[in-house]
Structure 1
Amino acid sequence: MTPALRGEKLTRTFSSPAGDVHACIDIDIEVAAGELVVVRGASGAGKTTLLNLLGGLDRPTSGTVWLGDVEATSLDEDALAALRRERLGFVFQSFGLIPILSAAENVELPLRIAKTPPAERDQRVAEALRLVGLDGHAAQRPGELSGGQQQRVGIARAIAARPHVLIADEPTGQLDSRTAATVMDLIGDLVHSQGLAAVVSTHDPLLVERADRVIELHDGRLTSIDGRPVPRVVAGADDPR
């Protein structure tokens, strides 16, 4: 079966006055439908860069990203934006909600941008808020909600378009440990009940327990999968580095 999300030999190099910064180096990753993969590592390990590459928010210096049978890295910007709308949902550390809009209106916004018909929009918004346990808070604005509830609105917004893949970058970074655990449980439940392929970055060891699989990054390299070290290729005739 084709993985829902696949990255092959992903490398991202940034130029700086001090020299090149290798944020990701030759990373291979596959995520199946219904699987929750946690990416862990210290700050600066390359987690956010990897998620941006997988989500089509940045382009790799080399390597390819596949969403199902579509090679995302070969698409132009318009086609890539359409693919993100259709197949990807994003959850960020900063909730990113618009303060003057209600919870329902925040969830609805990406569907409006995608020109989803009004009746279908209403149905999807109601469904998404129900799935995250906020169907009774649809009319409340972000300032009237707790941090955990705001992040649940962010998750509802991400799943309202019924994506194939969920990308979550430090989704519990602004939450206390108890609320963070609840949010991670919610993500795990959604992944398994809705058949999503999810990649979640965190450096919190308490959240790793909820993953189906854990990969660890260090200095831009994939160093372990479920605690098993990943052999590092030695530079030589076949590896110019």
Structure 2
Amino acid sequence: MSTTTGERTAYPPPGGRPAVLRAEALHRTFGTGAGEVHALAGVSLDVPAGQLTVVRGPSGSGKTTLLNLLGGLDRPTGGRVLLDDGRVLSELPEKDVLAVRRERIGYVFQSFGLVPVLSAAENVEVPLRLRRVPVAERAERVARVLELVGLTRHAKQRPYELSGGQQQRVGIARALVGDPDILIADEPTGQLDSETAATIMDLLVALTHERDIASVVATHDPVLMSRADQVVELHDGRRVGRG
């Protein structure tokens, strides 16, 4: 059962597991030439470890805005995002937000976001270079995650030599190479055919449960929704119902 305090609706974590990431009454307003746009209005949710949270809703409902706030890529106009160590992510200095993003959060994008001139292994290695991980350790970790996503034989290929599904696997490997405990994916199967999308969905579900990751995925895919531990539905920037 949810409880309401003021304008915040507090949803207990599904399955009773503690939240790794918590959103409290998030608001995000954007100023435009035509006036203000209220992309999010009072959205609250808990994201537990080892569980897949799917965010669904029509285009313009606020899915990407919510993921950007949860991942520290944007800051809310109102409300806050909390980490399980007690820090308020949305109120940290930018250098600390960057550190959290490097050390705790992995991102998977619909557009893959790969560097065209780099090989699959080099793309996966980028986050480790930013963290100045030693060369030998980088090589070991890159090899491990490429094996995890089934791309060991494609390590030296560049993105244009890979299929869409393989490119997305590279994106997932890059998100995982830093051993994050939070994974955020925005429409990760949106550019894939249904068969390839199903494979990527299987991989995301398995990784979430096996590696005890708190995963938040925005998607329109009903198959992935059916496999979620929690479904958050947004309409016009507001959370509706209880998934």
User: Structure 2-normalised TM-score?
Assistant: 0.91
| 2:41 aligned with 1:25 | yes
How many residue pairs align between the two structures? 226
Equivalent position of 1:9 in the other structure: 25
8 Å Cα contact 2:69/2:90 also seen in 1: no
Name the % identity.
62
**Cα distance in 2 between the residues matched to 1:223 and 1:32:** 20
Question: Secondary structure, in 3 states, of the residue corresponding to 2:27?
Answer: strand
User: Structure 1-normalised TM-score?
Assistant: 0.91
8 Å Cα contact 1:184/1:210 also seen in 2: no
Cα distance, 1:143 vs. partner? 1.0
Of the candidates 30, 40, 55, which is equivalent to residue 39 of structure 1? 55
Equivalent position of 2:209 in the other structure: 192
**Cα distance in 2 between the residues matched to 1:99 and 1:121:** 20
Of the candidates 94, 115, 132, which is equivalent to residue 111 of structure 2? 94
**Cα distance in 1 between the residues matched to 2:162 and 2:114:** 11
Question: Secondary structure, in 3 states, of the residue corresponding to 1:96?
Answer: coil
Equivalent position of 2:98 in the other structure: 81
**Cα distance in 1 between the residues matched to 2:144 and 2:93:** 32
8 Å Cα contact 1:51/1:167 also seen in 2: yes
| 2:149 aligned with 1:132 | yes
**Cα distance in 1 between the residues matched to 2:102 and 2:26:** 22
Equivalent position of 2:123 in the other structure: 106
8 Å Cα contact 2:18/2:49 also seen in 1: no
Deviations 1:185-228 (A, max 9, x none): 100000001110000001222321121111100000001222xx
Of the candidates 83, 86, 91, which is equivalent to residue 67 of structure 1? 83
| 2:197 aligned with 1:180 | yes
Equivalent position of 2:67 in the other structure: 51
Cα distance, 1:114 vs. partner? 1.0
**Cα distance in 2 between the residues matched to 1:225 and 1:133:** 36
Equivalent position of 1:234 in the other structure: none
Equivalent position of 1:233 in the other structure: none
**Cα distance in 2 between the residues matched to 1:225 and 1:96:** 32
**Cα distance in 1 between the residues matched to 2:143 and 2:84:** 28
Give the superposed CA RMSD. 1.0
Deviations 1:88-142 (A, max 9, x none): 0000000111111111000001110111111111111111111111112111111
Q: Any stretches of 5+ residues in structure 1 without a counterpart?
A: 227-241
